[in-house]
Structure 1
C-alpha cells in the first residue's frame, strides 16, 4: 500500500483495536449465492469504486475483454475525480448499485484499487445486490467491496484481476476455468516462478475461503461489513508494508478474535515488504511464525495471490480444502452456476 493510502486507513484501524468480535452480515446464516457464469457475448461493467482511473487505461482492458468475446459498459462516473478518489462517494456507490441493477450487464470488474471502497460501504444497496447476483471481481482495496457484499448478502465474490492488472495466460487460465467454465479447480503456484511455498504448519484444512488485502481488512475490523470467520480459511496479501506493520495488523486480527476462529491460513505474497533496516527488524516469516504457528492450524506463505503478475482467481465464500505442505487450494464446489 502507498504511504498516502496507509495514512488514510490508519484512523479506521485505531478504533478497531478496541472492538469486539466482528458483527456478521444480515444474511450470514443463509446459504451462499452463486452468480451466473460469464458467457461469450456477455457485457462486463467497468467501475472505479476507489482510486482514480486514467482514461488511457480503458482501451487496453476493452480490447482484452473483446478477445474473450465480451463487451464492456462504462460506469457513469468511471473517469470522475475527487482528490485521490474516482469521484464523490455517492457517485462511486451509485455506479456499483447501477451495475447490479442493469439487466444488460452480466458481470462487474473494478478497474483498480487504491483507496476509497470503505467509504462507500454504507451507501450500497445490499438488498438490490442480493436480488441481482452477478460476478464482481477485483483486488487490493476492492477487498472491502468483496467482503462487505459477501458478508451482507452471502453472494460469492471474486478476489481476482482488476482492469489494470496483467491479464497474462496463467491468471487468465484460472479466471476462465472458474468464471466461464464453472470448474472446481485446484490452485497451485506456477512452476516457472520464484514464488515458493514456505510451510508454517503442515496439514490440511477445510472451510469457506475468505480474505483479501491485510491492510484493508484490518481497517474494517469493528464494522458490520465483515463475514463470519469461524472454521473458515483466511487468505491475505499486501504490498509495500514494513514487517512491523504486518505484525501490528496480524496482532490486531488476533486481538479482535478473528485469527483464533479460523481453520486454515494462507498468506499469498507481501510484495516490497522487506524491512528498511534488516538488522533492527524481524523477518516476515518470523512474524508469521509468532502470530500464526501458535494457532495450530495448517498455514503457509507463498501462494500466487496479491500484487504479482501471476495470480489466482479466489472465490470468497466457496468451500475449499487447503494443503499447507503442498501449498494448494482445492475448491470443493463450483463458484458459479
Structure 2
C-alpha cells in the first residue's frame, strides 16, 4: 500500500540533511536562500557540514540527522543536500517504522536512489527524485522548467511528459502502466542481493547515470538483465546519461546499441531521452507513483506524488 506525503506550503519548514557525501557549503546556502524566498523556513541537520573522508560525517551522525528530521513534528519535508556516496551504508540501520509513522516529502537523487528504493519498498511512502541543494539548486540560477517541477510538492500536479520537454526515442513499442521505480544505475545495481533489492515486478523501471563509460553501462545493465529486472518490469524509462562516453576503452558500442542488446530483448515498452537525472532541465518525478507509458504517442503520465 502506497502513502502520499502531504504537500508543503509557504510557512512550512524544510529540513536539510546530507546522508551521503558532504555538500558544497556556499551552494547549499544559495539554495537555502532560494527556498526562504519562496516563504519556507529551512533548518539544517546537526551534521550536514561534517566531513569524514568522502562522507558527510560518520554513519551514525548521518543516520541521526535523517531520523531527527522524520521524528520532528515541526519538520514538514526532508531535502537532501548532496549525493556522492554513502546512503547504502546506513540503509539497514534506518528506522523504517519511524518513517512510516511520519510520512513527509523526501527529496533527492543520484546516491539518494538507494534511499528512495529502500523507503518505498519498506514503507510504501512516495518520495521525490529531483535536484539537490548543495549542487544543482545552488548554482545561482535555476532553469525555468526545472523550477516548475520543483513546485509539484507545493501544488500537487500530475506530470504529463511529452516531446515538448525533450526528444524521445522508442526502443520497444507498446503501452505499460505501474508505479515508477528506479533512479541511478550504479545504485540500482548495488541493491542486488541485499534486503533492498530493487523490485521491478509490474513497475516502470527508470534509469539514469553520469560519467560512466559505455562498457560500464553495459556491465551494469547486463547485471540487471541477468537478475530478471527488465523481464519483470512493465516498461522501461531511460533518462539522461550525462557524459557517459568512451574514455579508457576507445572502441565502444554506443549507448543505443547497448540498450538494444540488453534491454530490448525483454520486449517491454521502452523509451529513452527523458530529461531526468544529472541534466538541465531536470524534471523531478515522484518515485512510487502510478504512471502510464505510451510509445504510440510518446507520452509518460505520472500521478501527483503528494496530497493537498
User: So what's the TM-score if we normalise by structure 1?
Assistant: 0.86
The corresponding residue for 2:143 is: 168
**Do structure 1's residue 181 and structure 2's residue 155 form an aligned pair?**
yes
The corresponding residue for 1:314 is: 285
The equivalent position to 1:334 in structure 2, one of 301, 304, 307, is: 304
Alignment check: 8 A CA contact 2:182 2:207 kept: yes
Q: Are the structure 2 counterparts of residues 80 and 185 from structure 1 closer, same or farther at C-alpha, using a change threshold of 3 Å?
A: same
Matches within 5 A, 1:278-317: 280-317=251-288
Q: Are the structure 2 counterparts of residues 35 and 282 from structure 1 closer, same or farther at C-alpha, using a change threshold of 3 Å?
A: same
The corresponding residue for 2:202 is: 231
Once the two structures are TM-superposed, the CA of residue 140 in structure 1 deviates from its matched residue by: 0.5
Q: Are the structure 2 counterparts of residues 277 and 55 from structure 1 closer, same or farther at C-alpha, using a change threshold of 3 Å?
A: closer
Instruction: Tell me the secondary structure at the aligned position of residue 235 of structure 1.
Output: strand
In the alignment, the residues of structure 1 paired with residue 253 and residue 112 of structure 2 have an alpha-carbon distance, to the nearest angstrom, of 29
Alignment check: 8 A CA contact 1:150 1:227 kept: no
The corresponding residue for 2:98 is: 128
Of 162-171 and 149-158, the range deviating more from structure 2: 162-171
Unmatched runs of 5 consecutive residues or more in structure 1: 1-30
- For residues 142-169 of structure 1, the C-alpha deviation after alignment (integer angstroms, 9 at most, x for no partner) is 1011111111111101111211214322
Once the two structures are TM-superposed, the CA of residue 325 in structure 1 deviates from its matched residue by: 4.7
Once the two structures are TM-superposed, the CA of residue 180 in structure 1 deviates from its matched residue by: 1.3
The corresponding residue for 1:6 is: none
- For residues 203-238 of structure 1, the C-alpha deviation after alignment (integer angstroms, 9 at most, x for no partner) is 221011000000011011111113532110000000
Unmatched runs of 5 consecutive residues or more in structure 2: none
The corresponding residue for 1:71 is: 41
Alignment check: 8 A CA contact 1:152 1:227 kept: no
**Do structure 1's residue 111 and structure 2's residue 86 form an aligned pair?**
no
In the alignment, the residues of structure 1 paired with residue 248 and residue 51 of structure 2 have an alpha-carbon distance, to the nearest angstrom, of 37
**Do structure 1's residue 42 and structure 2's residue 12 form an aligned pair?**
yes
Alignment check: 8 A CA contact 1:243 1:281 kept: yes
CA RMSD of aligned residues (A): 1.5
Alignment check: 8 A CA contact 1:189 1:304 kept: no
Instruction: Tell me the secondary structure at the aligned position of residue 123 of structure 1.
Output: coil
Of 93-102 and 180-189, the range deviating more from structure 2: 180-189
